[in-house]
Chain A
Amino acid sequence: MATTRTGGRTARAVTRAAAGPAGRALSRRPARILGRAAAIAVILLWSVFPIYWALNTSLSTLSGADSTPAHYYPSPLVSTSYRAVLGIGGAGYGISSELGRSLLNSTIESGAAMVLTIVIAVFAAYAFARLRFKFKRTIFVSVLATLLLPAYATLIPIYRILSTLGLVNTYVGVILVYVSGFLPLAIWILYNYFTSIPRELEEAAFVDGASPLVALLRVVIPVAMPGIAAAAIITFLLGWAQFLFPLILTTDLATQPVTVIVAALNEQRIVPFTLLMACGVIAAAIPGILALVLNRYIIQGISAGSIK
């Protein structure tokens, strides 16, 4: 991965140097720049418009949103939908208590699943990357093979196992299922990161008499922080987005995450779209802000997992 980055940087440097003095390249430049700007505008429109549209509707009055032809910006711009779904005023259809509790559930479930996944994955990925033991390859390949295992394969038995153990509609049940689902991807990202760290770093620690475990904790983990952050953020986002598993594993507001509540509000068919869009924006706010602020780690994690 480190080589990829440097490779990309050199590529751009060379392209620029080559394009400079060559007359042919110069004359083509304005057309190419225009073409690229148009392409980027289309890409941005495709990526952002639906999100903008949710914001637009959530900030419009009901008559502003229900108009033909559509209004492309909120006029007047109002916060009534947000106040209604947050329980500060107006007809909120009792949404505020459901929304608040389900956001708390989503935070607990995806947060705990993230922490547990990362702790287990860091130790296991280190063992796969650096230590020698029996059946290493078999176990590693079996774990990664579950990346291709569709939800189908496990959905019904997981429900039956959890109901036998009395774990349906509990945080513990949801979290255990999430961890088992997210571990293979976290292992893959961390394994690739660990193998890209030069062994000399740990060998210096071994010379000082450190055990592999001490080397992992004192040397490898601090160096691998960007990779660990990437795996952690991706795991959290996956947890927040879950719908099918919580739909069958949670039965009431004690554990239902915000995705299940948004789907239920949508199904009622009486909640107006202005309020639904406000709920959607609130439900997507935490993953959305995380993705915008920490996108560097997400991009790195996804690219790292795919190159090798």
Chain B
Amino acid sequence: MISASFRRRLLPYVLISPLVVFIGALSFVPTAVTTVGAFFRVMPLNPPTAFIGLGNFRALFTNPVILTSWVNTAGYVAIGVVLSVVFGTAIAVALRDRFRFRGVVLALVVLPWALPAVVEAVIWSWIYDPTFGVLNSALHSLHVIGGYHLWLGLNRWLTVLFIEIVQVWQITPLSALIILAALQSIQPDLYEAARVDGAGAFQSFRRISLPLIRPAIAVATVQALVLSLNIFDQVYILNGIAPLGSSVMLQTYVTTFEDLNFGGGYALSLLMTVATAVLSMAALALIYRRVEAA
């Protein structure tokens, strides 16, 4: 017989055990395998597997295509973080106060976040189309451009910018919602006091809203950082495996599953995992510290 008190003490462990098994087997074990595998030569079609120290990393840093993908990814991250946080803040400020149909507007704003990135990228590839794309057509009608342009695949930074815009379109709703929630939790008497003291809209945004939504901006920044460091779907659809606009995630895929160099894939993955952790911590520390200073 199991006593009632024993069962009661056992309950929490029973409740969390499926979670622990899942996260252990499919998050922690794989992360450990990646970490160790980065220092081994692993080629399933060309054995043996052997310890090679930093050999995989040395090979990565002498491969021009992979070096290009690192620099491109830095571009994806810079553009993605800045645009999604700035647009997200602007949308949150515009939608803070109640107005008619606000619910409908919010629902439509969230829509790009809810749709599959692959489908979105295919839609944007049609918008960017060099012969029949609406971007060329609209800019030409407005006399912004003289002739139709090839937006993707010619100029490296233009390619990175136009691919990242597709990701920004998808992830901006996330920043907007996070910052909107923070804006709405600010006590209204603060704005009232500022208004009595003669502060304008911009002043009260800078002096009241901005310091108080900084934690939310930090969360939005880290979200955008992780998502843009991982950019894959949009690059796969809009750039293919061409080196010009390639991202590190795409090179990890190519190295591992097309070249079947698993060791190289592990090494790239490990570097990116460390980069993600370091950059996230740095972003949080930087933005949180500024709150205290403000």
Contact = CB atoms under 8 A, between A and B. Distances in A.
A228 interface: no
A75 interface: no
A48 B30 contact: no
Given A53-B126, A303-B177, A295 B110 contact: yes
B29 A157 contact: yes
A156 B34 contact: yes
A219 interface: no
A39 B105 CA distance: 12
Interface of B: 8-9, 11-13, 15-16, 18-20, 22-23, 25-31, 33-34, 37, 87, 90-91, 94-95, 97-99, 103, 105-120, 122-127, 129, 131-134, 137-138, 140-141, 148, 169, 173-174, 177-178, 180-182, 184-189, 191-192, 195, 216, 219-220, 222, 226, 229-230, 232-233, 236-237, 240, 249, 252-253, 256-257, 262, 265-266, 268-270, 272-273, 276-277, 280
Provide the main secondary structure of the chain A interface. helix
A201 interface: no
A87 interface: no
Interface centre among B20, B114, B173, B253 (most CB of A within 10 A): B114
Interface in A33-81: 36, 39-40, 43-44, 46-48, 50-51, 53-54, 57, 65-70
Interface of B is mostly: helix
A243 B114 contact: no
Contacts of B113: 291
Contact of A213 (B11, B25, B31, B270): B11
Contacts of A84: none
A55 B222 CA distance: 33
28 contacts: A7-B185, A11-B187, A47-B112, A50-B127, A51-B112, A53-B123, A54-B126, A123-B15, A124-B16, A127-B16, A139-B20, A150-B273, A152-B249, A153-B269, A154-B26, A154-B30, A160-B262, A161-B29, A180-B23, A211-B11, A244-B232, A262-B122, A266-B122, A277-B122, A291-B107, A292-B108, A292-B111, A295-B107
Nearest to B257: A248
Interface of A: 3-5, 7-8, 10-12, 14-15, 18, 36, 39-40, 43-44, 46-48, 50-51, 53-54, 57, 65-70, 120-121, 123-124, 126-128, 131-133, 136, 139, 142-143, 146, 148-161, 176-177, 179-181, 183-184, 187, 211-213, 237, 240-244, 247-248, 258-259, 262-263, 266-267, 273, 276-277, 280, 283-284, 287-288, 290-292, 295-296, 298-299, 302-303, 306-307
B185 A8 contact: yes
Contacts of A288: 111, 114-115
A259 B119 contact: yes
Contacts of B195: 18
A153 B184 contact: no
Contact of B126 (A18, A36, A57, A126): A57
Contacts of A124: 15-16, 18-19
Given A4-B181, A47-B109, A149-B276, 16 more contacts: A12-B98, A47-B108, A68-B131, A131-B15, A133-B13, A153-B31, A155-B30, A156-B30, A176-B26, A243-B232, A262-B116, A263-B122, A283-B116, A284-B116, A287-B115, A307-B181
B276 A280 contact: no
B8 A211 contact: yes
A123 to B, nearest CB: 4
B94 A240 contact: no
A155 B111 CA distance: 28
Given A155-B269, A244-B232, A291 B111 contact: yes
Contacts of A50: 112, 120, 123-124, 127, 169
B23 A143 contact: yes
A180 B192 contact: no
Contacts of A159: 257
Given A259-B119, A303-B180, A11 B188 contact: yes
Given A150-B229, A302-B177, A157 B33 contact: yes
Nearest to A43: B91
B26 A156 contact: no
A288 B107 CA distance: 10
A128 to B, nearest CB: 7
B286 to A, nearest CB: 16
B117 A152 contact: no
A213 B11 CA distance: 8
